[in-house]
Structure 1
Amino acid sequence: MTKILIVDDDPMIRYTLQEICEFAGFDSLALENGKEACERFNEDEFEVVLVDYYMPEMDGLETVRALREMSEQVPILVLTVDEREETVQGFFEAGATDFSLKPVRAPDLISRLNLHLELSSMKRHQQNKRREVWVTKGISENTMNLIVQFLKEQTQPVTIEEITEGVGLAYPTVHRYIAQLMDEEAVEVIPHYRKVGRPKNQYLWKTAKS
């Protein structure tokens, strides 16, 4: 059964959210603060997290940021009465997936939960297919993560030689992994024209410019 993690310091809201989840056929665990949520998050396989904004000990922003560090995939929905643009932007930058305004309306919340569960399922399916391709090509997930992390840290395009130096791997290995990232359209290829000789390709992680 789908399991939802609820984080809200108001006992009545926790009760209401659990009732909505039960009505929709979801299992749920309701906790009163972000600290407890972070402690329990890795103990169970939660498929969606509902997080209140204003809470003691750890507010919603801190909680979202901490949970996102533990999982890049799980959808995190923020519950708030604050519609200010800077608040919304702050949560998105912290890793929130979506918002639901208080007071919570059951049909709206259930619709959002179902949508993000479906999107999450599709993403997991795509990732599984991607891993199957990697296995057939001899691509190591740890090595790929090392190269991707290096690319994400760069604000300017880099050559394969620079990547090789930055991650401490052999040139042929980096070249093979960059080729895979190009197949997945995850990097932008930027020709660098020199005064003499052929242009040299540089690579930039596609989100680096956003």
Structure 2
Amino acid sequence: MILVIDDNEDIRYTIKEICEFGNWETAEAASGKEGVELFEKLTPELVLVDYHMPNWDGLKTTKEIRKRNKTIPIIVLTVDERQEIADQFLDSGATDFALKPIKAPDLISRVRLNLKIARLTSTPEDNVFVDKGINSATLQTIKGFLVQQTKALTISEIQTELPVAYQTVHRYLHYLVKQGDVQVISDYGNKGRPKNRYKLN
């Protein structure tokens, strides 16, 4: 079951239709507080939460759900693509993002990937996050993809191949660079600003 938390009834209906197409049952909540209360009563496999909601916004809702469960995938629905917003959500325990307006193929692929990662996560709950906002299974997914590449890729090229949001890929690559696992190669090309490409060491 997928728990959908969004104050917009039309969006909840759209998501419900998309989830039914993907053969997932849904439960709906019109506010963050209601969503957390439903979460405690049900045992969803994944949570979809809107960023902009009155009273409890998506950030507070994500934090409250993560207090109750350290491993469940939480996908944030947002029109805001700013990296600082993404970082706040990742720090709070979100695992991925889906941009509005919602596109069915994108949402279905993200839900499938996040459910798959959750099932593959066999580490104890306390070790699911290897660092603040860094989920070990998502980290392994991105590293596993990079292992198979023969050339350095941009964030966009990596994100195109993985159903993971641009902001998420950016955050995990930054973490891998800090850990010394990935190197950044500046590609100056013919014109404009140089592009950063990433390659596993």
Among candidates 104, 109, 113, match of residue 111 of structure 1: 109
Q: Which amino acid aligns with 2:85?
A: T
User: What TM-score do the two structures reach when normalised by structure 1?
Assistant: 0.59
1:57, distance to aligned residue in structure 2 (A): 1.7
Name the counterpart of 1:21: 19
Identity over aligned pairs, percent: 47
The structure showing larger relative contact order (alpha-carbon pairs under 8 Å, at least 6 residues apart) is 2
> How many Å separate the matches in 2 of 1:8 and 1:72?
21
Corresponding pairs, count: 130
**1:1-210 equivalences in 2 (<5 Å):** 3-123=1-121, 126-127=122-123
Unaligned 5+ segments in structure 1 are: 131-140, 153-208
User: What TM-score do the two structures reach when normalised by structure 2?
Assistant: 0.61
> How many Å separate the matches in 1 of 2:23 and 2:104?
13
> How many Å separate the matches in 2 of 1:92 and 1:119?
16
> How many Å separate the matches in 1 of 2:55 and 2:28?
16
- Higher-Rg member (1/2): 1
SS of residue in 2 equivalent to 1:73: coil
1:75, distance to aligned residue in structure 2 (A): 0.1
> How many Å separate the matches in 1 of 2:43 and 2:97?
22
Q: Which contiguous aligned blocks of 4+ residues in structure 1 show a shift greater than 4 angstroms?
A: none
Contact 2:29 2:38 (8 Å CA) reproduced: no
1:104-136: CA deviation from partner (whole Å, max 9, x where unpaired): 00001000101111111111xx24xx7xxxxxx
Q: Which structure shows the bigger proportion of residues in helix conformation?
A: 1
Q: Which amino acid aligns with 1:17?
A: I
